[in-house]
Amino acid sequence: MPCPDLSAPDQSSTDRSSIPEDARDVMSEGDISRALRRIGHEILERNKGSEGLVLLGIPSRGVPLARRLAACIEEVEGTAVPVGELDITLHRDDLRRNPVRTAHRSRIPAGGIDDRVVVLVDDVLYSGRTIRAALDALSELGRPRAVRLAVLVDRGHRELPIRADHVGKNLPTSSAERVHVRVAEVDGLDVVRISGGDAR
């Protein structure tokens, strides 16, 4: 299907602001890799294998995380799991509060999501609003058998009744703090840092 060349890395929705000096590391490269490996195993355990799994990353940093999870799963099970990306811009509930964001294309694996077990993958779970938008976006694409959620960091402060099935690290934060996730595919390094709030 012809489409404009979108192969250039998606930078527009990426938080390019630099991490403040006072930020402290909460997950190192090794921590992230171990957490993803564990999540990969958890997904397989829960699903009793890789049958019917589809991993959908939420841009921007959920996408490389989903690819890494798929690689972990393939390593364990020996079968490839379809990976896609789900752009949720058009379903956000804060569109009227912010300047317009460019909508990007969702890439859904060829087999679709009907009757599959979709695992949504994102970097940070915070208010839950992104996941609410993702669930809406999914419902327009088909009817999965089940939807699960895997996140690298759960920092609390939910504003909606949403929870993650697989969590890399639970990170109790104050809402004044900021969590910065950096992944090698987008930022050139793997790290989770936290900044702001009370200096501790």
Partner 1 sequence: MTRHLISSADLSRTEVEDILETAASMHDLQRREVKKVPTLRGRTVINFFFEDSTRTRSSFEIAGKWMSADTINLSAKGSSTSKGESLRDTAMTVDAMAVDALVIRHNASGACHQVAQWVRCSVINAGDGTHEHPTQALLDAYTLRTRLGDLDGKHVVIVGDLTHSRVFRSNVITLRTLGARVTVVAPPTLMPSGIGAWSAADGFATSWDLDPVLDGEGEHGPVDAVMMLRVQRERMSGGYFPTAREYTVAYGLTRDRLERLVARNDDVLVLHPGPMNRGLEIAPEAADSPQSVVLDQVSAGVAVRMAVLYHLLAGEDTPAPMPASATEGAVR
The site for partner 1 (CB under 8 A) is made up of: 1-6, 12, 87, 89-91, 95-100, 102-106, 136, 140-141
State which residue, 68 or 92, has the beta carbon closest to partner 1.
92
Cα–Cα distance for residue pair 20/29, rounded to 1 Å: 19
Q: To the nearest whole angstrom, how small is the minimum distance from the Cβ of residue 130 to partner 1?
A: 15
Cα–Cα distance for residue pair 200/196, rounded to 1 Å: 10
Q: To the nearest whole angstrom, how small is the minimum distance from the Cβ of residue 89 to partner 1?
A: 8
State which residue, 92 or 182, has the beta carbon closest to partner 1.
92
What are residue 117's phi and psi, to 5 degrees? Answer: -100, 110
Q: What is the DSSP secondary structure assignment for residue 11, as one 8-state letter?
A: -
State which residue, 1 or 199, has the beta carbon closest to partner 1.
1
Q: What are the CB-based long-range contacts (under 8 Å, 24+) for 161-166?
A: 161/128, 162/125, 162/128, 162/131, 162/132, 164/125, 165/42, 165/46, 165/119, 166/39, 166/42, 166/43, 166/119
Residue with tokens 């790290």: 191
Q: To the nearest whole angstrom, how small is the minimum distance from the Cβ of residue 14 to partner 1?
A: 14
Name residue 156's amino acid. G
Q: To the nearest whole angstrom, how small is the minimum distance from the Cβ of residue 109 to partner 1?
A: 14
Q: Which of 110, 130, 155, 7 is nearest to 58 (CA)?
A: 130
Nearest-10 crossing angle of helices 62-77, 29-47: 60
Q: To the nearest whole angstrom, how small is the minimum distance from the Cβ of residue 56 to partner 1?
A: 15
State which residue, 51 or 94, has the beta carbon closest to partner 1.
94
Q: To the nearest whole angstrom, how small is the minimum distance from the Cβ of residue 103 to partner 1?
A: 4
State which residue, 84 or 168, has the beta carbon closest to partner 1.
84
State which residue, 105 or 157, has the beta carbon closest to partner 1.
105
Alpha-carbon torsion 35, 54, 49, 185, what sign? Answer: negative
